Amino acid sequence: METSFKPILDFDDEFHDQFQIIGDKYFPKLADSEFPISFYALMGLMATANSVKLAMYDLAEESDTHLYVIKLLHRSFIEHYLKFYFILFRLLNEKSDEAGIEYKKFSSIDETMAFINAFIVSAKMVGKSTEDTIYKQLKKKYPDLELSKKEIQNISSKWKHRNIIKYLKNNTNLISDDKSLFLSLISQYAELSSFVHGGTFAEQYYHELFSQNKLQGAVDEQLYEVAIMAAMMKCHLLIAVSKVDESAIEGMIKLGILTTEFIDTAHNKYKQQDSANAEPLL
């Protein structure tokens, strides 16, 4: 059975095939570059974001009633997307591997802090001793840690979604006006949090669309947006790859043209909200 979003899937398949050809040419060179850890982080975030995207496609093909879960996954996709761009443009601006090193080190520490903090809270609830502080526990897990708890929190806060968008606003030309996709992600992130946390907004939104028989249109719009965002990640990755091999820009232009042509033909069908327009890829 042909789905209403088949053009999105067709574009995604064609884009993937072209990107794979380009990737096979350039990606083996990245391990020997000046920025191997940042490239590893970028490739990892791109791959996991792509997995989230494919899961959204699978759910949509099964039933439009999966919109609630698709929205939940889209929130996760946005987190991958923003971290990818934070690393990418820090690499380009700083011309160092520091962003990848920081991401690898402090995301792990931040997650460990959250786990230890949760453990302490639960232990207190049942009257157990919590003499060890979070930082002492971190020092036990990371004996070479030389930063204070406050310093760790300051670094970790840079990776929060609003601070990433603020960095992109101040250090790139990706946010040129109030219709920027990146600016729209602030409100989207807040709205999508309702789906993650079981909020009343999410429930009301879903049931209103269901009662009006508009689930399919909302699903199509969500898939269109994530397809374009995933394509942007792959196109813009090649800007960084061009620092290793300048000819990678040719691949970026080719993929950018493919994506722009799809946007030109499909935008009116799948996207109605001007606030989430995709920025130019070239």
Positive or negative, the CA dihedral 221, 223, 228, 229 is: positive
Tell me how far apart the alpha carbons of residues 44 and 27 are, in angstroms, rounded to a whole number: 13
How far CA 35 is from CA of 87, 92, 172, in Å, comes to: 11, 10, 20
Residue by residue, pLDDT tens for the chain (282 residues) are 578 999 999 999 999 999 999 999 999 999 899 999 999 999 999 999 999 999 999 999 999 999 999 999 999 999 999 999 999 999 999 999 999 998 887 776 666 655 556 655 665 665 655 545 566 666 676 666 666 667 767 777 777 888 888 888 888 887 776 667 787 888 888 889 999 989 999 999 999 999 999 999 999 999 999 999 999 999 999 999 999 999 999 999 999 999 999 999 998 888 754 333 444 443
Give the pLDDT confidence score for residue 133 in this predicted structure.
Answer: 57
With beta carbons less than 8 A apart as the criterion, state whether 19 and 232 touch.
no
Task: Give yes or no for a contact between 186 and 162, defined as CB atoms under 8 angstroms apart.
Answer: yes
CA-to-CA separations, 235 to 76, 157, 240, 261, in angstroms, rounded: 20, 27, 10, 14
pLDDT in tens, 161-219: 888 888 888 888 877 766 677 878 888 888 899 999 899 999 999 999 999 999 999 99
Using CA atoms, how far apart are residues 134 and 112, in angstroms rounded to an integer?
9
The answer to whether 161 and 186 are in contact (CB under 8 A) is: yes
What pLDDT was estimated at residue 217?
Answer: 94
